[in-house]
């Protein structure tokens, strides 16, 4: 078994996308599936999944690999649909043209849909050796992707006049991080419930770090006042707490995340992972002091 999580994630993703292109297949849609999933970003969510799975024993590595691939496929699907003209109307994603610009709007809708199907198919195909774990993984992925607790709900809140902020953040950003920690645990035969808090806190930290990056990036490059509401009027930790307050908040959340790690064989290694993750999130502070 290859023990490098990044290599395992990439291999599982490549295999899944190749499966979706087996002949006969419409070639442009097949190409768009590859385009939307490679070279990829930091693969943060499946990496967290693999870390938790490793800490819990990784006794069904093929199931864990499929779960990681499925989670990243779902994340990629959400990016393709979020970039559509009717949502963010983004021209670029990960340094290249967004799918609807590089292909077409119909193909972008179909790419998102196909990646969602592929996520569930990949997971369902890998679960024969541990059917109960497989079903639980499928339930978690569906719940944290759909309505009312998943990323669809998160986007849906942006069409409401009155937003439930807690539900909005939990579904928009938290959902796939909760899926990451819970699926990592379940793939290794553990209960899902104790792992919800870790995922929720990592998601919260991610959100605050994102708000900080937005605010500091604006201040440095655009001369806009730090801490203003972002362009889409979404609530921001920086607007609420200021930059220094948001940095303190980020550190508190990550401490809480470490404290929430359930007892498991790899508890120490997992705490180390969260600390490393915290260091990756906080280079915003030096950037701020330069501004």
Alpha-carbon 34 to chain mean position: 18
Out of 102, 124, 271, 291, the only residue in the binding site for its own copies (CB under 8 A) is 124
Q: Per CB under 8 A, does 26 bind its own copies?
A: yes
Size of the site for its own copies (CB under 8 A): 60
Helices 175-187 and 196-217: crossing angle in degrees, nearest 10, is: 140
Site for its own copies in 182-221 (CB under 8 A): none
Q: Phi first, then psi: what are they for 96, rounded to 5°?
A: -140, 175
- Helices 267-281, 44-55: crossing angle, 10 deg rounding: 160
The nearest distance, CB 12 to its own copies, in angstroms, is 16
From CA 99, how far away is CA 36, in angstroms rounded? 7
Interface pick for its own copies out of 49, 50, 118, 247 (rule CB under 8 A): 118
Q: Which two tokens stand for residue 234?
A: 């979404």
* Least separation in angstroms between CB 79 and its own copies: 13
Nearer to its own copies, 98 or 270 (CB): 98
> Is residue 104 near its own copies by the rule CB under 8 A?
yes
Least spacing, CB of residue 11 vs its own copies, in Å: 20
20 binding its own copies? (CB under 8 A): yes
For residue 276, give both structure tokens: 């490393």
Nearer to its own copies, 51 or 182 (CB): 182
Site for its own copies contains 107 (CB under 8 A): yes
CA dist 116 and 121 (Å) reads 9
Both tokens of 29, joined, read: 């849609």
160's tokens: 């409401």
**Could you give the string, one character per residue 129-168, with x where binding to its own copies holds by CB under 8 A and - elsewhere?**
--xx-xx--xx-xxx-xxxx-x-xx-xxxxxx---x-xx-
Q: Where are the alpha helices (DSSP H) in 103-164?
A: 105-125, 131-143, 151-157
Kindly state the smallest distance separating residue 27's Cβ from its own copies, in Å: 7
Among 1, 24, 223, 263, binds its own copies (CB under 8 A): 24
Spatial contact of 181 and 140, defined as CB atoms under 8 Å apart = no
Q: Site for its own copies (CB under 8 A): which residue of 2, 15, 38, 105?
A: 105
> How far, in Å, CA of 203 to CA of 207, rounded?
6
**Nearest Cα to 72, choosing from 6, 2, 3, 143?**
6
Span 68-87, contacts to its own copies by CB under 8 A:
81, 84, 86-87
Element (DSSP H or E) covering residue 136: helix 131-143
Binding site residues, its own copies, CB under 8 A: 20-30, 33, 81, 84, 86-87, 103-107, 109-110, 112-114, 116-118, 120-121, 124-125, 127-128, 131-132, 134-135, 138-139, 141-143, 145-148, 150, 152-153, 155-160, 164, 166-167
């Amino acid at each position: 078994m290859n023990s490098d999580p990044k290599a395992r994630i990439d291999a599982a993703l490549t295999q899944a996308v190749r499966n979706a292109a087996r002949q006969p297949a419409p070639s442009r849609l097949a190409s768009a599936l590859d385009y939307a999933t490679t070279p990829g970003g930091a693969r943060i969510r499946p990496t967290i999944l693999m870390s938790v799975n490793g800490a819990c024993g990784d006794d069904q590595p093929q199931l864990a690999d499929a779960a990681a691939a499925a989670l990243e496929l779902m994340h990629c699907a959400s990016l393709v649909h979020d970039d559509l003209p009717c949502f963010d109307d983004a021209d670029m994603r990960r340094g290249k043209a967004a799918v609807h610009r590089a292909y077409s709007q119909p193909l972008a809708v179909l790419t998102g849909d196909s990646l969602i199907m592929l996520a569930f198919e990949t997971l369902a195909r890998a679960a024969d050796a541990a059917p109960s774990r497989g079903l639980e993984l499928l339930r978690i992925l569906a719940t944290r992707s759909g309505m009312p607790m998943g990323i669809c709900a998160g986007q849906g809140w942006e069409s409401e006049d009155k937003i439930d902020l807690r539900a909005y953040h939990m579904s928009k950003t938290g959902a796939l991080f909760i899926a990451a920690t819970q699926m990592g645990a379940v793939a290794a035969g553990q209960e899902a419930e104790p792992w919800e808090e870790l995922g929720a806190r990592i998601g919260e930290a991610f959100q605050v770090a994102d708000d900080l990056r937005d605010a500091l990036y604006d201040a440095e490059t655009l001369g806009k006042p730090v801490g203003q509401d972002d362009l889409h009027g979404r609530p921001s930790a920086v607007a609420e707490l200021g930059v220094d307050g948001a940095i303190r908040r980020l550190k508190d959340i990550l401490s809480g995340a470490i404290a929430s790690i359930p007892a498991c064989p790899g508890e120490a290694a997992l705490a180390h992972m969260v600390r490393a993750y915290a260091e990756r999130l906080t280079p915003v502070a030096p950037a701020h002091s330069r501004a």
